[in-house]
């Protein structure tokens, strides 16, 4: 297992724990609903930032292969860092973005 994969697992675990706390905050008065949603929104943003940094770090480690005249390179598709980015990190980032948008809409409705 790559070190970056362990880091991603830790980020995902932090976001999952924040989701549980968010769900628990949705029981009770409306103020705790908003506070819990805002706290979860912050954790999603932190998770996205950390995941984007991990994506950049992982992409720097992807083995590059020369193409054409040797001045241009492309990523080696079977590189484990490339697979991690393509199959796990990018989908996770997209999911975090989607969750943030949904939460923003929920917060907007709650404030109105």
Phi, psi values for residue 82, rounded to 5° = -65, -45
Chain length of the chain: 112
- Evaluate if residue 69 carries a pLDDT over 80: no
For residue 66, the surrounding DSSP H or E stretch is: strand 64-67
Tens of pLDDT, residue by residue over 89-111, are 999 999 999 999 999 998 898 87
pTM for the full predicted model: 0.89
């Amino acid at each position: 297992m790559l070190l970056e994969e362990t880091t991603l697992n830790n980020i995902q675990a932090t976001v999952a724990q924040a989701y549980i706390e968010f769900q628990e905050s949705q029981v009770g008065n409306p103020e705790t609903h908003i506070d819990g949603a805002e706290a979860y929104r912050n954790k999603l943003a932190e998770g996205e930032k950390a995941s984007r940094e991990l994506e950049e770090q992982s992409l720097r480690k992807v083995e590059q292969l020369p193409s054409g005249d040797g001045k241009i390179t492309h990523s080696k598709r079977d590189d484990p860092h490339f697979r991690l980015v393509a199959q796990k990190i990018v989908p996770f980032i997209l999911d975090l973005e989607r969750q943030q948008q949904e939460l923003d809409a929920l917060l907007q409705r709650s404030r109105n």
